[in-house]
Amino acid sequence: MKNINNTTEDVITLAIETSCDETSVSVLKNGRTVLSNIISSQIEQHRKFGGVVPEVASRKHIENINQVIEEALKEAETTFEEITHVAVTYGPGLVGALLVGLSAAKAIAFSKEVPLVGVNHIEGHIYANFIEHKELEPPFIALIVSGGHSHLIYMKDYGEYEVLGRTRDDAAGEAFDKVARALGLSYPGGPEIDRLSKIGNSDAIPFPKAYLEEGSYDFSFSGLKSAVLNYLNSEKMKGNPINEADVAASFQQAVIEVLAEKTLQCGIEKGVNQIVLAGGVAANSGLRQLLSKKCQENGIDLKYPSNKLCTDNAAMIGCVGYYDYIRGLKSNLYLNAVPNLKLGQRF
Ligand code: KG4
Ligand code: ZN
């Protein structure tokens, strides 16, 4: 085993992410310098089904994983022999998909005699910000909004989280994808709605905005989703033409207003001077704009990753793995996939 106390040597992390429909492998130096970040997307395979098919995802990961590992090492001009440790997503996610990455990571850790570090995927999304913003340090408020998660977190220090709010039903990205599907847009729907919203009128249709009880930082998007579906059905039944851009813009506005307002209130309550966005929905241009404005008005600095680091990728997993590794946190080779892994939970 390599010595973690030898601080003069660079720490080289090999990171693997296969929790959903991207097979991704990255090599990082000292946690925040990305030497390679290969993302093999399966979107084309899943698009014809209108969403991710777990069986197909697992099979594609198996077909891709070895090639993606090879490519990541090659692009980073690194070999297995130079790897200090292996970081891998072990949850939350699709169990069959997670197992492919986990098995590959265990095999490398065992055969090369380097430590294995199991990483929480949600934590990875937050850490994408550390890669993009080299000066960023906790504490801050993080809004993590993706296809599977919507969380408002107070990150006090590396690995220390207080969950302030979460969705009670659909994740934000899930709502974007389902509404997009009803509008006949292709999967994934978030970028399509974002694009259409730019030419639509966000005040055209008064869709409900779910703020929930006074003081709650939880979210709920299923009522909004049903309201959009009901609107589309009733307009069709009346024989009225549907302005897709207006529907997209009005729906997006209802989502981002609630996300931005609750995030800002968390920042004010905790007295932080920085807020970060994370997850696929953090790529939404309307959300970035609205929250930037609110943060500016309140003297808070807003940060978000570039689009490539917002959606699933292994570099963000490697960044968490690095910070866990330097704190001496490792996993054993019996580590299993945990599909419903919670933030702050560790196996
Ligand atoms: O983080 P991610 O790649 O996967 C999960 O961990 O779920 O997020 C994917 C989600 C999808 O629901 C996709 O529609 C959404 O992020 N998304 C967006 C945008 N780009 C991706 N949603 C809104 N606006 C976007 N520009
Ligand atoms: Zn994700």
What are the structural domains, with CATH classification, of the chain? 12-127+310-326 (3.30.420.40), 137-305 (3.30.420.40)
Cβ pair 20, 97 in contact under 8 A: yes
Q: Can you say whether the dihedral through the CA atoms of 324, 316, 265, 164 is positive or negative?
A: negative
Q: What's the confidence (pLDDT) of residue 347?
A: 87
Average pLDDT, 10 consecutive residues per value, the chain (347 residues): 57 97 96 97 80 87 97 98 98 97 98 98 97 96 94 95 96 96 93 97 96 94 96 96 97 98 97 97 97 98 96 97 97 96 90
Q: Which residues contact 288 (CB under 8 A, 6 or more apart)?
A: 277, 282, 302, 304
- Is the minimum distance from the CB of 252 to ligand 1 under 6 angstroms? no
Is 165 in a helix, a strand, or coil? Answer: strand
- Is the minimum distance from the CB of 91 to ligand 1 under 6 angstroms? no
Q: What's the confidence (pLDDT) of residue 52?
A: 83
Q: Give one word for 303, left, alpha or beta, with left for phi > 0 and alpha for psi -120 to 50.
A: beta
Angle between helix 172-182 and helix 222-237 axes, rounded to 10 deg: 10
Atom of ligand 1 nearest to the CA of 147: 7
pTM of the model: 0.93
C-alpha dist (Å) from residue 306 to 54, 166, 190, 227: 27, 24, 16, 32
Of the candidates 74, 79, 68, the one whose C-alpha atom is nearest the C-alpha of residue 12 is 79
Q: Can you say whether the dihedral through the CA atoms of 155, 10, 113, 40 is positive or negative?
A: positive
Pairing of strands 160-166, 150-157: antiparallel
Cα 305 to ligand 1 centroid, rounded to whole Å: 13
- Is the minimum distance from the CB of 170 to ligand 1 under 6 angstroms? no
Return the ligand number nearest the Cα of 149: 1
Return the ligand number nearest the Cα of 52: 1
**Sheet strands side by side (includes 274-278):** 160-166, 150-157, 140-145, 274-278, 301-303
Cα 305 to ligand 2 centroid, rounded to whole Å: 13
Give, rounded to a whole angstrom, the gap between the first and last alpha carbons of the chain: 21
- Is the minimum distance from the CB of 185 to ligand 1 under 6 angstroms? no
Q: What's the confidence (pLDDT) of residue 1?
A: 37
**How far, in Å, CA of 86 to CA of 322, rounded?**
9
Atom of ligand 1 nearest to the CA of 252: 23
Cα 311 to ligand 1 centroid, rounded to whole Å: 6
Q: What's the confidence (pLDDT) of residue 4?
A: 47
Q: What's the confidence (pLDDT) of residue 7?
A: 56
Cβ pair 235, 106 in contact under 8 A: no
